[in-house]
Structure 1
């Protein structure tokens, strides 16, 4: 069970702060629930480091995302250029892939992808380790979980941070460590190793609990379409994924792979699902409504760890990153608007296939596999996550070594992508 505490009433609307906090290094301590391991909602008369005796009434409202809001960037700390770069603990894109968040051993930072620039950072004076930071589009509401050798918050708590007020406005507490958090405008999804909790964002009411197989990576994906919540998580069997269609109140189980699930991704509308296993050789695309296998593409022949999968906004392309140091882009034969269309034959000349496919009836399936259209080579050894950029035919790649790449691929001729931009987003810059 989760223990829940909320601070201030009502929740603030996520709007720009006309007077941003002049001291970004101030260490704000969020209150801790006095009712541990219970599903209880508390609200406090005023913010304090400890709960007060008599709570006020609580009537929060859904935090609406303001697309015009840009988090203010405080002045850089003194001697930034001489201080060593922080250790990166977490990176993740926001819901539309226009921004990304980085959790470090000192705090967190928010960056814009195109054009690339740091738009906000907060470093804490004591502790400061942030192992998970999840954005809500571009608004001032964030979900934070402690991490690293000196965590800012307990690893079993999700802190709801409002940077308009420069403080926490609520927390969710659990019996075990939080593995990941997903946000929608109307939901908060918290992933533990073997359980997932779904909360209503309006009042933080617990709506659903899901049991999963061991899920140390915190795998979970949610659609972002208005009014159509689709949630995907590991099932209770090896290689199985569970799809929750909340609008129709339907649950669909898909046996996606023989090996354990390593990674998956949803389209924005939740109609298409891409999955990979711990073998990392094949990626499969499913219709989430009926579990139909629509397409299967091959990353390579040897085993690999898949770090991330990402659909383009129109579901025409799929990007894959792995520990082999290569990002692949595949051409998809269906889009989410025609998820029920018939699978296209692998003999279609518009699909890249092996040159030995003419003997596919004799040799293994490997030789008739669909291969990537475009590739980009990276330095092996560092995990990378990938997303499609807002410019046409571009891909954004983020590395746990602090690297930021923006690349462009040729949708007709394919081949090696062209690098458009590179930045080290952890490098101290006076311009920030």
Structure 2
């Protein structure tokens, strides 16, 4: 008789093969072995699902809120050859065009009327209208990650791709992006043209690039390298470095960077399972944290590390069990051990603020939505400006988050955090302040839901 214990479950594991937002963070798509689905980002709503047989998809890219999507086959049994991009018209529920290449497609990006396809050493641009026509082609360095970014706001022109040299970014200006078909006249007004000719090459990093991101306007450019410690923000017109942020001290794989639509903040997420939020402008109401020695950098030859800016807010994604019961309340969200390999994608949304207002309509505030590949949907609110501004400088007596603060010259008796360095105070009073600071710098989980198989498919 076999008395060995066996684990029995009534639910198959969730498998999210890919999840990504549209350019405006209004929708997101996810692909599973059963097909793909389109969701409203907030409030989380399943808009439509398409069950496909015969293979799997590696990525589904929505073209804003239109019925057009770009499909890329992948996985163990690809639905389409990995060297093809298929244009899917969801109103017709079928393919309407396909683009075939001589090698595997590494990545793609789109905006109204345009599609950029990244191959191993080149990026090909297509104009998408009544017909799909080839517009241009540019050589790149080894781009195995398929990096390419396009500005998608009305009047935007920027296309960012890796340059021919490792760590460089090539900036290409296309015809202005047209407004939506139902846009008001005020929204359709394009931005004024620059008076000087923009730069075409930005020497962003010495190592290979890991991410390329641009806001909808295309005014800025964010880059990260394979080392995964720094995030650099550039002016896409002048090519000058605007800000430099430090994610952490140890090497990490940064999965993505997302600008807030008004370009006042950005968020970064990596394989450490932590989402970091940085402020870009001084009038955003928040202040990034810095080392205690940052004030001495103009007077002493200290390493650049001590002048680094660290995130003012962060959130640690918990590990999700594929068999956990469905929970809709934030207070009942699972609190399991953190999984560093939890992959996610993060986007910005606007929701009515819960703060009192004399106006009839509540003001809107920016929040984050994090999508995990285990099927978790997290809505996160940022710390209020009053709670985080008092701890912009890390010191033994100032409460800072232990997992994101710069290391201190204090003896450390507990292990280092995977997303940065930590320090311990020598007094109970210091520990209490550290705890208070950690709470003030943590994003608050407002809502937790599931998508994918939890919607009855996938």
SS of equivalent residue, structure 1 residue 358: helix
Distance 1:168 1:410 in 2: 45
Distance 1:187 1:430 in 2: 34
Give the aligned partner of residue 301 of structure 1.
Answer: 249
Instruction: Judge conservation of contact 2:290–2:309 (CA < 8 Å) in 1.
Output: yes
- With over 3 angstroms needed to count, the CA separation of the structure-2 counterparts of 1:250 and 1:365, relative to structure 1, is closer
Match of 2:447 among 418, 421, 424: 421
- With over 3 angstroms needed to count, the CA separation of the structure-2 counterparts of 1:89 and 1:431, relative to structure 1, is closer
- With over 3 angstroms needed to count, the CA separation of the structure-2 counterparts of 1:352 and 1:267, relative to structure 1, is same
Match of 1:244 among 172, 188, 210: 172
Listed as ranges, the matches of 1:331-346 within 5 Å are 331-333=279-281
Give the aligned partner of residue 149 of structure 1.
Answer: 76
Deviation digits for residues 225-284 of structure 1 (CA, Å, limit 9, x no counterpart) = 223321001111111111112248966111101111111210111110011111111111
Give the aligned partner of residue 348 of structure 2.
Answer: 388
Give the aligned partner of residue 370 of structure 2.
Answer: 397
**Post-superposition shift, 1:351?**
4.1
CA-based RMSD: 2.3
Give the TM-score taking structure 2 as reference length. Answer: 0.70
Listed as ranges, the matches of 1:40-51 within 5 Å are none
Deviation digits for residues 369-417 of structure 1 (CA, Å, limit 9, x no counterpart) = 1111111012321122211112213111112222211100124133000
Instruction: Judge conservation of contact 1:308–1:321 (CA < 8 Å) in 2.
Output: yes
Give the aligned partner of residue 256 of structure 1.
Answer: 204
- With over 3 angstroms needed to count, the CA separation of the structure-2 counterparts of 1:245 and 1:83, relative to structure 1, is same
Distance 1:369 1:304 in 2: 17
Distance 1:222 1:421 in 2: 31
Match of 1:410 among 383, 392, 398: 383
Give the aligned partner of residue 190 of structure 2.
Answer: none
**Post-superposition shift, 1:356?**
2.5
**Post-superposition shift, 1:150?**
1.2
Give the aligned partner of residue 60 of structure 2.
Answer: 133
Q: Which moved more, 1:157-166 or 1:188-197?
A: 188-197
Deviation digits for residues 11-34 of structure 1 (CA, Å, limit 9, x no counterpart) = xxxxxxxxxxxxxxxxxxxxxxxx
Distance 1:375 1:351 in 2: 11
Distance 2:119 2:286 in 1: 45
Give the aligned partner of residue 15 of structure 1.
Answer: none
Unpaired runs of 5+ residues, structure 2, are: 1-8, 176-192, 318-337, 352-364, 389-440
Distance 1:86 1:418 in 2: 26
Distance 1:273 1:303 in 2: 22
Distance 2:349 2:170 in 1: 29
- With over 3 angstroms needed to count, the CA separation of the structure-2 counterparts of 1:154 and 1:407, relative to structure 1, is same
Distance 1:125 1:235 in 2: 39
Distance 2:223 2:245 in 1: 11
1:193 and 2:158 matched = no
Q: Which moved more, 1:353-362 or 1:256-265?
A: 353-362
Distance 1:315 1:274 in 2: 11
- With over 3 angstroms needed to count, the CA separation of the structure-2 counterparts of 1:416 and 1:154, relative to structure 1, is same
Instruction: Judge conservation of contact 1:319–1:330 (CA < 8 Å) in 2.
Output: yes
Distance 1:207 1:402 in 2: 38
**Post-superposition shift, 1:168?**
0.6
Instruction: Judge conservation of contact 1:99–1:113 (CA < 8 Å) in 2.
Output: yes
**Post-superposition shift, 1:147?**
1.0
Give the aligned partner of residue 365 of structure 1.
Answer: 304
Give the TM-score taking structure 1 as reference length. Answer: 0.74
Q: Which moved more, 1:358-367 or 1:307-316?
A: 358-367
Q: Aligned pair count?
A: 339
**Post-superposition shift, 1:83?**
6.3
- With over 3 angstroms needed to count, the CA separation of the structure-2 counterparts of 1:182 and 1:334, relative to structure 1, is farther
Give the aligned partner of residue 41 of structure 1.
Answer: none
Instruction: Judge conservation of contact 2:199–2:236 (CA < 8 Å) in 1.
Output: no
Instruction: Judge conservation of contact 1:85–1:426 (CA < 8 Å) in 2.
Output: no
SS of equivalent residue, structure 1 residue 428: helix
Distance 1:232 1:268 in 2: 12
- With over 3 angstroms needed to count, the CA separation of the structure-2 counterparts of 1:321 and 1:349, relative to structure 1, is closer
Instruction: Judge conservation of contact 1:396–1:406 (CA < 8 Å) in 2.
Output: yes
